[in-house]
């Protein structure tokens, strides 16, 4: 099975693609989509759709994994994040993908063993799990890998990483 974990955002949207073969998990791809804040909202939504649909098709994704949003301080950002989540739900429906969602606390707990872990702690664990992974220059990438692993581990808790 091939999994796509997404950390959606309107400026940077992180992603991690991992493949499960038996008891092994391989990280196939990871990175982020950067969208210029000067672009109009419809342009960014289209760019987001095109990028993630292309990933789904390229890697023949079976399962899409998302982190549930939290309101935070800015309701406007929360609303805009809903647009991106809607795009991911549309892609999942169109491509017949399973969708899994986890709260930030569940993701941090799965990765670090502590639901209140910092982004830096999550990134350190990801680096330990995938030592050949170049250090990502955005937390969105390690967050997306963490979401991906959380989803895989939720399905079957014990895997060997390579």
Nearest to 63 by CA among 151, 162, 143: 151
Residue of 7, 43, 50, 101 marked active site: 7
Is residue 140 part of the annotated active site? The answer reads: yes
Nearest to 6 by CA among 36, 31, 24: 31
Residue of 43, 67, 120, 143 marked active site: 67
Residue with token string 């995938």:
130
Residue of 46, 101, 120, 140 marked active site: 140
Tokens (6 digits) for 125: 């664990």
Is residue 67 part of the annotated active site? The answer reads: yes
Is residue 143 part of the annotated active site? The answer reads: no
Coil, strand, or helix at residue 33?
Answer: strand
Which are the contacts of 49, defined by CB distance < 8 A and separation ≥ 6? 87, 90, 91
Nearest to 110 by CA among 141, 61, 63, 67: 67
> Which residues form the catalytic set?
7, 67, 140
């Amino acid at each position: 099975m091939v999994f796509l974990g997404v950390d959606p955002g309107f400026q940077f949207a992180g992603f991690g693609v991992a493949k499960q073969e038996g008891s092994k998990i391989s990280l196939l791809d990871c990175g982020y989509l950067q969208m210029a804040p000067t672009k109009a909202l419809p342009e960014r939504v289209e760019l987001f759709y095109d990028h993630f649909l292309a990933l789904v098709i390229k890697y023949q994704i079976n399962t899409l994994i998302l982190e549930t949003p939290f309101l935070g301080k800015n309701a406007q950002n929360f609303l805009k994040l809903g647009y991106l989540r809607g795009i991911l739900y549309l892609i999942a429906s169109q491509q017949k993908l399973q969708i899994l969602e986890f709260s930030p606390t569940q993701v941090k707990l799965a990765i670090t063993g502590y639901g209140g872990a910092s982004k830096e702690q999550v990134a350190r664990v990801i680096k330990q799990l995938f030592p050949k992974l170049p250090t990502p220059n955005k937390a969105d990438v390690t967050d997306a890998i963490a979401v991906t692993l959380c989803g895989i581990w939720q399905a079957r808790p014990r895997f060997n990483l390579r």
